[in-house]
Amino acid sequence: MVDAARPQIRGRFTSCELVRREELTEDLVKFWIKPAQDYVFKPGQYCTIGVEGIERPYSISSSPDEEDIELFIEIVPVEHGGHLTPLLDHQQVGAEMTLRPRAKGIFILQPQFKHHIFVGTVTGVVPYISMLRKFLNDPNWPEPADGITREDYTFHVLEGASYLDEFGYDEELNELAEKHDFISFYPSVSRPTEERNASWAGAKGRINLLVEDYLEKLGVDPKETCVYACGHPQMIEDVGERMENTDYNFVEERFWKEDE
């Protein structure tokens, strides 16, 4: 019998199984899902999952050549207006969720630029992880563009979070930065004086306020550089404005709207 109180998903969908979950903090969780059907996506794209008829898009942090799809999700409590994430928080390994059969999104690597400045807040780092993993896994990706070769590329992940335990991929990014001179990781906490950040020895302040300084020190040609911004709408707005009257190229992905 159809439950009239539950939203019904219209259109085509398939399913996926939650095969692993890992809690980072009270409100940050990583999911690994196994789609019931072959699932094709480009690094930087998002999938749409659902529980009880409620669906939301989630950027994918795994590379397309990995077996499972990895997601990094912030739980928005019911009292703050969350709908799907409180349900996701209760999903245990083995749970089945709906999955739209097609990945979507145009927030993908811009191969025509040499330098890639990946700015993100907390879960906003997700699309960059997929791009970096794919770049390192696949010597034929991306396809050459405008005479630029793989050796020309540099990647700089600038990630902001309130607290040091919210970065999500800091271990991986620190390792990659140590191993490859074309990858840098620059994390910053915006609440450095709070007890939870007592052991923090890195950069301090909101990441949007640090982007211009970072670019100036890097000294790359703005015309050869793409600045990406993903995550918190205010951060994106601010970085976008800072790039507006420059020669830097700018692309963005907003996870939610400020006035929602």
Ligand X SMILES: Cc1cc2nc3c(=O)[nH]c(=O)nc-3n(C[C@H](O)[C@H](O)[C@H](O)COP(=O)(O)OP(=O)(O)OC[C@H]3O[C@@H](n4cnc5c(N)ncnc54)[C@H](O)[C@@H]3O)c2cc1C
Binding site for ligand X (CB under 6 A): 46, 56-59, 72-74, 76, 81-85, 105, 123, 126, 253, 255-257, 260
Q: What minimum distance in Å lies between the beta carbon of 31 and ligand X? A: 10
In the complex, least distance from residue 29 CB atom to ligand X, rounded to whole angstroms: 9
User: How many Å from the N-terminal Cα to the C-terminal Cα in the chain?
Assistant: 33
Instruction: Name the minimum Å distance from CB 104 to ligand X.
Output: 8
Give the nearer residue to ligand X in terms of CB position, either 12 or 257: 257
Q: What is the DSSP letter of 148?
A: B
3-state secondary structure of 251: strand
Torsion sign, CA atoms 199, 121, 224, 210: negative
* Closer Cβ to ligand X, 228 or 255, answer by number: 255
Instruction: Output the smallest distance, CB 34 to ligand X, in A.
Output: 18
Closest to ligand X by CB, 217 vs 257, is 257
* Residues near 25 by beta carbon (within 8 Å), at least 6 away in sequence: 163, 165, 166
Beta strands in the chain (DSSP E): 14-25, 28-35, 46-51, 54-59, 69-74, 96-99, 115-121, 154-161, 183-189, 203-204, 225-231, 249-254
Coil, helix or strand at residue 110 = coil
Cβ proximity to ligand X, 213 vs 256, nearer residue: 256
Q: In terms of CB distance, is 118 or 255 closer to ligand X?
A: 255
Nearest distance from C-beta of residue 73 to ligand X, angstroms = 4
Residue 88 vs 243, nearer CB to ligand X: 88
Residue 237 structure tokens:
């707005």
φ/ψ of 16, rounded to 5, equals: -145, 160
Count of alpha carbons within 13 angstroms of residue 34, beta-carbon side: 9
CB of 4 to ligand X, least distance (A): 20
